[in-house]
Amino acid sequence: MKLRRSFSSQQLIFALGLTLSFATMAAAQDKLTTKDNRTQDGKIIGVVGSNVQIQIGAGTMGIPLATVHSVVMATPPEFAAGKAAYDAGDYAKALAPIKTLAEKFRGLPTPWAQQASSLLGDIYVALDKLSEAEKAYLDFQKSYGAGGSVQSDVGLARIAFSKKEYDKAKGKLEPITTQALGEKYPAPALAGSYSQAFYLLAQVEEAQGDYAAALQNYLRTVTLFHHDNASVAGAKEKADALRKAHNIAAP
């Protein structure tokens, strides 16, 4: 009597496939950690109201967003697509994926969710939809508290600049740039915002005819606060043009 039977190659392949599938599913799970150091694995499907919705098996549970300390979750491909479109200047194409992510995951403590929320305001400014941009920046500030206040103030200054309200824009930007100059090592979460603030302040000063101050802040963007690639590229171009147009020496 046979105590065991041999598996066919097809059966072995099927079994191996199941093993790999289960391993992939386990690896693909998100991890949420609360402020009291509890962890929950599952699939985060969004933020609804004040709760993070997480799928666990066939069910879904809500975890209060206010209790969430950290989240480990892969960056959705829509973010890369939207950011690439924004960087390429195709703001209309960038709007849909970034808006979807910002609204679906707003408040989630991950870098990509926070960046999507702030980028939404930038996209609206680029599309000259200033009332939508203002709402997006204020939503961002509300959702991310102190971490969002600097970026949202830069965004609101960008709206004021677009409206040629230069003094209002400076009022938002100068406290940020003063703070940045007083910090020897800017926090990573603020470094990009500082870069944008100096670049925007330089544009405001140039529009007001204060070319020496504008050049100084363009150069600060390039040399000291070079943490936002778009700001650095724009500052280099504008600094060169400013020096040629007005024969200004670098400070």
Are the C-beta atoms of 69 and 109 separated by less than 8 Å?
Answer: yes
**Residue 203, pLDDT above cutoff 60:** yes
Across the beta sheet with 39-48, the strand order is: 59-64, 51-56, 39-48, 30-34, 68-72
Beta strand pairing call for 51-56 and 39-48: antiparallel
Residues 129, 117 contacting (CB under 8 angstroms): no
CA distance 118 to 144: 10
Residue 207 pLDDT more than 90?
yes
- How do residues 131-141 score in pLDDT, each as one tens digit? 999 999 999 98
* Cα–Cα dist 249/16, whole Å: 69
pLDDT mean across residues, the chain? 87
Q: How many CB atoms sit inside 10 A of residue 21's CB?
A: 10
**Whole-number pLDDT of residue 145:** 74
Q: What is the pLDDT of residue 43?
A: 95
| 69 Cβ contact partners less than 8 Å away, ≥ 6 residues apart | 33, 34, 35, 37, 109
Please tell me the predicted confidence (pLDDT) of residue 149.
80
Tokens at 135, concatenated: 């709402």
Whether 16 shows a pLDDT value over 70: the answer reads no
Domain covering 77-246, topology:
1.25.40
Sorted by where each begins, the domain ranges of the chain are 30-72, 77-246
Determine the Cα–Cα distance for residues 128 and 134; give it in Å rounded to an integer.
11
- Which helix or strand (DSSP H or E) is residue 72 part of? strand 68-72
Digit-coded pLDDT (tens) for 64-100? 999 999 999 999 999 999 999 988 889 999 999 999 9
Q: What is the pTM of this model?
A: 0.74
| Cα–Cα distance for residue pair 25/39, rounded to 1 Å | 18
* Percent of residues in the chain assigned helix, strand, coil, to nearest 5: 65, 15, 20
